[in-house]
Structure 1
Amino acid sequence: MGLCRIVGTSQVVTMRRDMMDIFEIVYNRLKTSIKPFIRYSGSESEGFRMHGSDMDSMFWPDDHKVVWNLCQSHFYHGQTVILADCSDSPPGYALLQLLTPTIERKIESSLLRINNREFLSSSKYRVNMCSEVVPNSTQHGPCGSGVRFGIEFDCAHCFACDFWPPSASLWRNRCHAWPPPRVVYDIVNQGCHFAAIGHKSGNHEDKEWRISFSLAERKLVYSMDHCQFLTYGLLKLFLKEVINKGLSDEEKLLCSYHVKTAVFWVLQQNTIAYWCPQNLLECFWVCFKLILKWVYEGVCPNFFISQNNMFLGKINGSAQSYLFRALYVMYNKGYACLLHCASITSNIMSVLCNPGVFICTDQRSVISETEFDCQMFGEMYNLDSIVIIDLKICMKYLRFAEQLLSLPLTKYNFLMLQKLTASVLQRTAFILHNTFTNSGENKQKYIIDKLSCNMLKLAAQIGCTSDLLYIALFYYKTKRYAEALAVLRMTKAKFSQPYLAYTYSVSDRYMEAAGGQSWSKKFRRCMAQNIKLYNGILYIDELCREQDTSHGSSQMKHFFLIIPPFVFLQMLEVLCCRHVDAISRKQALEDLQLLIYQNEPLTVPVMFRDISWQILGICQQVTGNYQEALYSFQQSLQEYPFHGIRQATCERILKLLPYTSWSVDKL
């Protein structure tokens, strides 16, 4: 069924979750004293990758703890303790009183004094932390919303509480049929969080904090079987493509959180006897009727604190009447209302016309091995984004990765760890070299050089094909141009293979070479991914200016430059041949120019054309082709400013002006 392709098969969803889990474990283990904990929430963390799925992040300081009573404060000696007071707030909300001093400036500036007691203002804290992760972000509920690397996501800065809320104590007594006791135990033991937003109908909207169960909800979604997860996905599609179609964010009354809550209640109340693919439409219908009932009554009970009516202040009066009428029209159409879901119309039609038709959820029938590999490699690439540019943290990661290997990891955990380790080894090699290259004795320099080379070779052994380019880059950096060219020739031969896969695209010949092999071997042999140069690490002198500009961009602070591997290979070939062979240099420059001019999105994606034109201009400039370099820099300015390198481009153009006929007025 098409729904399985949109939502994901059980194997695909498991892969996404396992890779996300190991990323979070590693990130939080490497946390420094000034870095907050992070957990992902939202649709992507649950395993969805549908168009428009949100990637929400939760951050909280580990040295600030919320308690429900003073007795619990004894567990946190030397930490900042905050007391949650629910006595004058609606169900699901609380005031947070600071009991012990804080040294965090942004937290201190969020304090309000009420009756000689200091309380944290949610509105002040939200403003103070809004742009903490994403510069120039805007407020959206308790989150700062922004765009990084072309992806929209929300960041919520919270406070953690290790204890289960007293107001949610009755929830445990309701858990007879679902969720399983093990899940209930894990949820209660992990406590809750407080998000910086108050109740619109409360007495202290600007001061109140909402009790957040985001991590508990993620565990509940993980505990669903695949049919239940598909039902949840179908409801999300129906909400987006039918109920909220054409509405602005301000006009939307129902949200995906209401849909998720409905699925939770249906599961817990054991309303449906058989959750199976053949029964999928009935499962959808039961959940839809519950939402219709809630809208009619104007009450949507929070799953954990049922006294918290999530419709209060939003779905009432004329808005409630309007929404009920719209939903009732859909209800009268029966299952046929799903025909308005454009993405699955043909599949729903076949099921409606043939009620006994089997809804296929089998992995091998829904998605090919090639498609699965493509998704898996893309997931690995996206999650390889832990920003480590400190030698001590790099070494801490390598020790921790070794410890993780002794644990019972899933195959997807292992693959993600393999990718992260290759990336950290590469950064460690360059940081080591940069740290000791200008200091120490010759013997020490030799040892560091040998160690860096071995790290890069190990990274290439466990990484993908394009990781060979980091070895060539290191040889170029250390003026071993012949060795660098030898590695580049080897890499170019691998890149020319018809089975090569690049990030999200897999060739037709891929299965001929990779079919039946382990994923680890497929990744090493057949996969090429973008080159990431982390800002703060000196990789190559020719791109220093771009790294500095990108990292300090006023519009968007980037953590790394992302360069297509084919462009990076040609750049290194031009730069190496410049010192070795003038004839080969000319041919390498022509090959690079042809690559950029072809405008082929599969080799030079649109998002990375700003840096690709920039690299062409740099290569033309260092080889004395000033007029051509000027044109390339102009083209870089016209591309989508993904990397925020406009300032570097303008600086390079200004330096070229004396050698060209171009005028500064054209800049």
Structure 2
Amino acid sequence: MDHIPRLSEVLYVGLCRKIGTPTEVAIRRDVTDMYEMIEKPVNIQKGFVRIQSGSSKEGFRLRSSDIDRMFWPCDLKLISDISQSRLFNTSKHIIVVMEDSDTPPGFVRLRLLTPARHIDTIFLVPFDGGAYISSSLWRERYFQFMYEVRPPSEKIRIHGPCTSGFTESIEFDEAHCLATIPWPKQLRNWVYRCQRYTWPPLPVLKIILRNECHCVPIGSKGVSTSNELEWRLSFSLAEQQLVCTMNHTQFLCYGLLKIFLKEVINYRKEPLLCSYYMKTTTFWIMQLGHRRWCPNNLLDCFWRCFKYLLHCVYRGLFHNFFIPENNMFLNKVVGNARESLLQQLYQYYRMGVSCLLLSPTLRSILEPALSNLSFVLSPSEGEFIGIADLDLCVLIELLTLSFSAQHIWDSYLRLKSINTLSLLISISPHQLLTLQYGTAQTLVELAFIMANSTSCCTHKNIYNLDTMIRGMLKMAARLGPVTYLLYLSMYYYRMGRYDKTLYITYLTKHRLSQTFIMYKYTDGQRYNEATVGNLSLSRRMREAWASDVNLIYDIHCIGELCLEQNVSQRNGRYLLSLSPFVMVEMLSVLSHYRLSNRSQCLQSLTDLQTMLLYDNGKYVPLLLRDISWQVLGICQHVVGDLHGALQSYEESLRQEPFNKIKEATDCRIGCVNQQLQRNAHM
């Protein structure tokens, strides 16, 4: 398959649909950036900074993309020269100097300058007349911490400098590192090189140099006995900025390399190469220039990157982009493994760019154009996205955000941060929407945290607290998706105001019944026919978007679900997620039962059962069917239909155990069986 501009454009359009259009990628970055800005003051108050890194932060949403996070303490200050210590208050800050005089390129040792009382001495190792922070002890300490706070069902391990594991089938890597704003001296040559090649552009370079770089706790792979004291320099924030400077062809080429790596090079093999090599390859080719990065040249750009990678494997030398003296193949891509990889890549080289057809994903994109020479796609077809799909992209991004609060103070800090950020001049519409969504979620959490408070002892205080909570929940319902009305309904139910519960529930049910409602997916035609796209972004979220109802493990909104929340939390899920359509019917059944409205209660119960029996995933997603059948069983149990409850609980056990409530289901089945036995003996 020779390079044909037509095939490049077809591939460009296919990758836009697979990886994302320029607009979708921009939305992902905007939402993630704003979320981190909102959370920053909350984390600093707790003594650390947390950022997201890796492919997810860069804008990818591939199935293979994991969640990478970096944490570092606020009070520990890294400096590259002792003279910089005067910039900090030694009575408040831990001052550590980076030394690179006799370490491999890209690695440093960290020598403590302040007295040992400022840092846990278990991290310190005496060396060469000073006290140094051990990377291995640091890494193992934080692994042990995560092991203790996470449930046993979550398998975690040390992977390089990170603690790795899975949360609900999503892989995560968390690096507990140290940060420095004065960049190390080793980076001077990189700055000169960027200025010489004019990439990245000077404004971007200035932003990079204003941000932190990091030391992650892992030493070089050499045989030195002191490598437990070595820390690797990491430039995650700089890499994020570099990826953001890419045009969309460059971004898709980087994504193309990631797909080719996963589905072809590493397929059913012990991986020698990782996606970081693909990113570094793209950086080098971009900086060296001489490429036309446009849709009809995508195949040529990929081939140039592939040949660079092949050349590096042939030489056994892969230069780190920031510190070229650091050969990232050293002690890794060596010996027989390197020879085997070289032969594999050379086979692909002999195939030419037709080697892309070895990837199922890429083959499905290219085959229509190969089988029909008149098959043509304009790049604009890939970049265009309808309003319904665009809104779904925004909603999905918002629903991944977690504004959890352990204390009331966390919520206050978050609301203060949101208020400050809302005054910014340069803020995109999707970032503004993130602030609105964050406000709604924070108000809900704050309201129920206050409802759980037992400090109020007088009637006046109880009345004032109730007024405040209702005000916050009403405000959240005016700001958030349609579903947020249900949090107000749940509060009324908790307080025994069943008439109010039914009123809000019916109102929510009416709004959820609209044909244009967006929940998990949407009918684009009906969404457009309802002229939802003519509304503002904020109003679309309030009137046309729906989300799951999430119950936090330590906040009990509905007494009937306390058992499920507690069991789910013990098994590693900190949210009990329910479909809003199920929650509406549950509140209707229980409220009518409390009010002795038997006919309406049975009608709502029938509606809930019918929905579960005949729904195709529109109202009750597959992953939420375990808790949905459990809810039906609870409602049947409450009204006295023990045989129906038993069948529903057993059906819950047959579903995907997403909410991890099996123990609760077993407990309820046992309770029903006991009641049936008692009834049989009466």
Structures share fold, TM-score greater than 0.5: yes
1:170 paired with 2:184, answer no
TM-score (norm 1): 0.92
**CA 1:338–1:433: 2 relative to 1, 3 Å:** same
| Cα distance in structure 2, aligned partners of 1:103 and 1:137 | 31
Counterparts of 1:35 and 1:148 in 2: how far apart (Å)?
Answer: 24
CA gap of 1:567–1:320, structure 2 versus 1, over 3 A, is same
Match of 1:632 in 2: 648
Distance 2:127 2:84 in 1: 23
- Per the alignment, residue 105 of structure 2 pairs with 91
Amino acid at match of 2:139: R
Does the residue aligned with 2:318 lie in a helix, a strand or coil?
coil
Structure 2 partner of 1:318: 336
Q: Does 1:268 align with 2:284?
A: no
Counterpart among 340, 361, 369 of residue 343 in structure 1? 361
Q: In the TM superposition, what is the alpha-carbon distance from 1:374 to its structure 2 partner?
A: 1.5
- Do the aligned partners of 1:277 and 1:360 also contact (CA within 8 Å) in 2? no
Task: Mark the CA change 1:169 to 1:134 in structure 2 (over 3 Å): closer, same or farther.
Answer: farther
The answer for the alignment partner of 1:374 in structure 2 is 392
Q: Corresponding residue for 2:72?
A: 60
Checking the alignment, whether the CA contact within 8 Å between 2:219 and 2:230 is kept in structure 1 is: yes
Give aligned-pair identity as a percent.
39
Cα deviation digits, residues 191-233 of structure 1 (max 9, x gap) = 3111122211251343322111111101100111111111111
Change over 3 Å in CA distance of 1:139–1:363 after alignment to 2 = farther
Structure 2 residue corresponding to 1:524, chosen from 528, 542, 566:
542
Is 1:126 the equivalent of 2:139?
yes
Letter in 2 for 1:520: S
Instruction: For residue 534 of structure 2, give the secondary structure of its aligned residue in structure 1.
Output: coil
- The answer to whether the 8 A contact 2:39-2:414 is kept is no
Q: 2:584 aligns with which of 549, 569, 594?
A: 569
1:182 matched residue in structure 2: 203
By how many angstroms is 1:186 displaced? 1.4
Separation (CA, whole Å) in 2 of partners of 1:504 and 1:89: 53
Tell me if the contact between 2:317 and 2:327 (Cα under 8 Å) persists in the aligned partners. Answer: yes
> Aligned residue for 2:4?
none
Measure how far apart 1:87 and its partner are: 2.7
Residues 494-514 of structure 1 deviation map (CA, whole Å, 9 limit, x = unaligned): 222222211344464222112
Alignment partner of 1:243 out of 256, 265, 271 = 265
CA contact (8 A) 1:4 1:366 kept: no
Q: Deviations over 1:417-444 (max 9, x none)?
A: 11111111112222233326x6243333
Aligned to 1:227: 249
Q: Residue 457 in 1 paired to residue 474 in 2? A: yes
- The 1-side partners of 2:272 and 2:117 are apart by 40
Question: Could you say what secondary structure the match of 1:501 adopts?
Answer: coil
Q: Is the 8 A contact 1:144 1:154 kept in 2?
A: yes
Partners of 1:594 and 1:128 in 2: how far apart?
Answer: 52
Change (3 A) 1:10 1:174: same
Which piece of structure 1 moves more, 136-145 or 599-608?
Answer: 599-608
Match runs of 1:26-37 below 5 Å:
26-31=38-43, 33-34=45-46, 36-37=48-49
Change beyond 3 A, Cα 1:100–1:635: farther
CA distance in 2 between partners of 1:622 and 1:540 (Å): 13
Cα–Cα, structure 1 residues 83 and 343, in superposed 2: closer, same or farther, change >3 Å? same
What does residue 645 of structure 1 align with?
A: 661
Two-structure CA RMSD over aligned residues (Å): 2.5
Displacement of 1:652 in angstroms is: 3.6
Segments of structure 1 that go 5 or more residues without pairing to the other structure are: 663-667
Matched-pair contact (CA < 8 Å) for 2:14–2:382:
no
State the one-letter code of the partner of 1:579.
R
For residues 173-212 of structure 1, the aligned pairs below 5 Å read: 173-175=192-194, 176-203=197-224, 204-212=226-234
Q: Secondary structure at the match of 2:452?
A: helix
Match of 1:665 in 2: none
Cα distance in 2 between the residues matched to 1:501 and 1:446:
37
Structure 1 equivalent of residue 28 of structure 2: 16
Q: Deviations over 1:566-624 (max 9, x none)?
A: 11111111111111112211222222233334464332223223322332232223223
**Kept after mapping to 1: 8 A contact 2:404/2:445:** no
- In structure 1, how many angstroms separate the alpha carbons of the residues matched to 2:345 and 2:157? 32
Deviates more, 1:232-241 or 1:541-550: 541-550
- Kept in 2: contact 1:227–1:280 (CA 8 A): yes
How many angstroms apart in 1 are the aligned matches of 2:296 and 2:344?
28
Distance 1:102 1:36 in 2: 20
Cα separation, 2, equivalents of 1:360 and 1:51: 27
- Between the aligned partners of 1:562 and 1:628, the Cα distance in structure 2 is 23
Greater shift in the superposed pair: 566-575 or 630-639: 630-639
**8 Å CA contact retained: 1:459, 1:467:** yes
Structure 1's 446 and 507: CA in aligned 2 closer, same or farther, altered over 3 A? farther
Q: Tell me which amino acid in the other structure corresponds to 1:126.
A: R
Q: Is 2:324 aligned against 1:306?
A: yes
1:59 maps to a residue whose letter is F
Aligned length: 652
Q: What secondary structure does 1:528 align onto?
A: coil
| Structure 2 residue aligned with 1:254 | 273
Change (3 A) 1:63 1:228: same
Displacement of 1:525: 1.5
Q: 1:138-153 to 2 correspondence within 5 Å?
A: 138-153=157-172
Structure 1 window deviating more from structure 2 (48-57 vs 630-639): it is 630-639
Distance in 1, Cα, partners of 2:387 & 2:548: 23
Q: Which amino acid aligns with 1:502?
A: Y
Partner secondary structure for residue 95 of structure 1:
strand
* Structure-2 separation of matches of 1:229 and 1:357: 24
AA partner of residue 234 (structure 2)? S
Q: 1:102 to 1:134 in 2, by over 3 A?
A: farther
Separation in structure 1 between the aligned mates of residue 380 and residue 172 of structure 2, nearest angstrom: 32
Task: Indicate how the Cα distance of structure 1 residues 104 and 336 shifts in structure 2: closer, same or farther if over 3 A, else same.
Answer: farther
Q: Quick one: which of 610, 635, 640 aligns to 1:619?
A: 635
1:475 and 1:306 map into 2 onto residues whose CA distance is 63
Offset, 1:35: 5.1
2:81 is aligned with 1:74: no
Counterpart in the other structure of 1:430: 448
Distance 1:492 1:186, change over 3 A: same
Match of 2:554 in 1: 536
Alignment of 1:578-617 (within 5 A): 578-580=593-595, 581-598=597-614, 600-617=616-633
Amino acid at match of 1:226: H
Q: Is the 8 A contact 2:17 2:382 kept in 1?
A: no
Q: In the alignment, is the contact (CA less than 8 A) between 2:560 and 2:634 conserved in 1?
A: yes
1:419 aligns with 2:434: no
1:285 aligns with one of 303, 312, 328: 303
TM-superposition CA deviations, 1:541-565 (whole Å, max 9, x none):
22223323333x1x42x33211111
After superposition, the Cα gap between the structure-2 partners of 1:111 and 1:655, relative to the gap in structure 1 and judged at 3 Å, is farther
| Cα displacement (A) at 1:276 | 1.1
Q: Which runs of 5+ in 2 are unaligned?
A: 1-12
Distance 2:116 2:605 in 1: 57
State whether residues 375 and 504 of structure 1, in contact with CA within 8 Å, keep that contact through their aligned partners in structure 2: no
Displacement of 1:45: 0.6
Shift of 1:111: 3.2
How far apart, in 2, do the equivalents of 1:161 and 1:452 lie? 43
Q: Does 1:4 align with 2:23?
A: no
